[in-house]
Amino acid sequence: MSKVYICTAIPYVNGNPHIGHAMDYLLSDAYARFRRNLGDEVRFQVGTDEHGNKVYSTAQKNGLPVEEYATQNSHKFQDFIQKLNISYTDIIRTTDPEHVRRCQEIWQKLSPHIYSAEYDGWYCEGCERFITQKEYEETGGNCPDHQKPYERLTEKNYYLRISDFRDEIRAQIESDQMKILPEFRKQEMLHLLEDTLDISISRPKKQLSWGVPVPGDDSQVMYVWVDALSNYITVLGYPDQDISDFWPATAQFVGKDILRFHAITWPAILLGLGLPLPQNLVSHGHVLSNGQKMSKSLGNVIDPIEVVERHGLEAFRYYFSRHIDNFIDSDFTWEKYDEAYNNELANDLGNLVQRLATLCSKNSVSGVSDGRGELAPEYMTLMDKFEFAKAFDYVWTQVRELNKDIDQTKPWELVKKGETDKAQQVLRELVVKIMQTAQLLEPFLPGTSAQIYQIFGNTGIIQRPETPLFPKA
Ligand code: MSP
């Protein structure tokens, strides 16, 4: 049994959750459930990122005190996480006083690598990021992600000396000691590392008061990313507690847009603290809406609650785990969603359960309580490589095989011919297989898996469910 620690990016609380936010949670949840299935002890962190300009200025636009606004939205994210049935163990808000105090201690520990200097350059509030002159020129001074001109800043900041850590970070990325997935992102990060200068890690309080105060300097607050990244260890109790049971993280799941902070800034902080780097940094693509980036101005933002309400939570988890690629951008449209629901969930899986349960109940076949067995090697390999959508495809081949098995073995014909024992034997074998499939489904569709166990996993006579698992829509 190993100890496993899984981390998710913590969203800014400057708005409501959207379907893109679900990706970090679903990927992490699938991995957490997979590892628990193997008998590992899993800690799994989620949370909300509440400081910084972005949150502060949206609170102001909404006419609310920032604390109140952050709390309201943090609760929306917490509800969202619950609604998605995410099996987290630890939850953090970056406004938690314990987190704030721990961040200040982290800052102090990093002080040998911190110096103060004048910053004169560009900033993007949308990205909460300092922009290099090179990027400024390449983009014509406009953030491609936020469609806004960069701001010019001239201010005193504290800097973290990246040059103290560059060689070590490079070595660990190259050797996969900190493995960055997918491979093409690893190459991107290696290039970026060479171009990264020392990182500004504070903002003057007169520009931004909504942040963690820098210890020993009343005029400065921490740059929001320093405070945000630290959540992965403060939530474990660092530096008050020994975190070596669960740190380094087994896997951190983040979107492609924020990989740079996790691949460069975060390792620099960790090395400065004398802590090991995460074992895997898994970077996912973005969910697009009708082939486009979701944005309020395009009016194509999709409300996840609406998606959940359309065909239920399991359908939501199904689509986002199987049809949204782990690593590259993928599209969501209502048409594709409905099609996947009807053709795959209702036709393939829902029908399978209904057909098999009906045949079993008619022929007095009882369930098997121990359908669980060794996981198929193909599935294991894909799950270990964080290729969850492909692992889910593998599960689906099993679902389709089982449908074919029923068609080919035709238990009803055996019954007609009076070969009841043989029919029962065939059905029992199919029941064992559907239970094995339920085990493979568990990380992705825990609710459905539990229903299949309930129907086929008792030792009484199997009963046909009154309503199918996925009624046709
Ligand atoms: N607050 C930072 C993360 C700090 S982690 C120490 C942040 N927040 S965010 O709200 O902008 O994004 C949170 C997560 O959602 C990120 O992993 C981001 O990549 C992901 N996504 C945001 N939009 C997305 C899509 N459209 N599709 C998939 N993931 C997306 O960045």
Alpha helix stretches (DSSP H) within 363-419: 377-384, 388-409, 411-416
Residues of the chain with pLDDT under 70: 296-297
Identify the pLDDT of residue 126.
Answer: 85
Closest Cα partner for 358 from 466, 247, 210?
466
Rounded to whole angstroms, the Cα distance separating 195 from 65 reads: 39
- For ligand 1, what atom is nearest to the CA of residue 24? 17
Position 128 scores a pLDDT of: 86
Cis peptide before 278 (omega within 30 of 0): no
**Helices in 3-52 by DSSP H: which ranges?**
22-37
Largest CA distance in the chain: 89
CA atoms within 13 A on the CB side of 312: 15
pLDDT tens, position by position, 424-446: 999 999 999 999 999 999 999 99
Using one digit for the tens of pLDDT, what is the confidence trace for 407-424? 999 999 999 999 999 999
Phi and psi dihedrals of 432, rounded to 5?
Answer: -60, -45
Strand-pair partners of 117: 157
Q: Which of 244, 304, 262, 224 is nearest to 16 (CA)?
A: 304
Q: Is any atom of ligand 1 closer than 6 Å to the C-beta of 17? A: no
For helices 388-409 and 22-37, angle between their N-to-C axes, nearest 10 degrees: 60
Tally of helices (H runs) and strands (E runs) in the chain: 19, 16
Contact 50, 68 (CB under 8 A): no
Give the amino acid at 233. Answer: I
Q: Which residues contact 153 (CB under 8 A, 6 or more apart)?
A: 119, 120, 121, 122, 123, 130, 207
11 Cβ inside 6 Å of ligand 1: yes
Give nearest CA residue, ligand 1 atom 16: 255
Sequence-distant (6+) residues with CB within 8 A of 435 are: 368, 371, 372, 452, 453, 456, 457
Residue 207: what pLDDT?
A: 84
Distance 9 CA to ligand 1 centre (A): 7
Residues belonging to the active site? 18, 21, 124, 127, 143, 146, 293, 296
Which tokens belong to 431?
A: 């029941």
d(Cα 255, Cα 450) in Å, to the nearest integer?
Answer: 30
Distance CA 181, CA 109 (A): 30
Q: What are the distances in angstroms from CA 130 to CA 135, 166, 207, 230, 431?
A: 10, 19, 15, 19, 58
- β-pair type (280-284, 330-332): unpaired
One-character DSSP codes across 83-98: HTT---SEEEETT-HH
CA of 39 to the centre of ligand 1 (A): 30
218: burial class by Cβ within 10 Å (0-12, 13-18, 19+)? Answer: exposed
The whole-angstrom separation of Cα 249 and Cα 448 is: 29
Alpha helices in 111-215 (DSSP H): 133-139, 166-174, 183-195
One-letter amino acid of 264: I
- Ligand 1 centre to CA of 298 (Å) is 19
Digit-coded pLDDT (tens) for 12-63: 999 999 999 999 999 999 999 999 999 999 999 999 999 999 999 999 999 9
**76 CB near ligand 1 (under 6 Å):** no
Ligand 1 pocket member 312 (CB < 6 A):
no
- Separation of 385 CA from ligand 1 center, angstroms? 22
With tokens 């939205």, the residue in question is: 73
Parallel, antiparallel, or unpaired: how do β-strands 330-332 and 287-289 relate? parallel
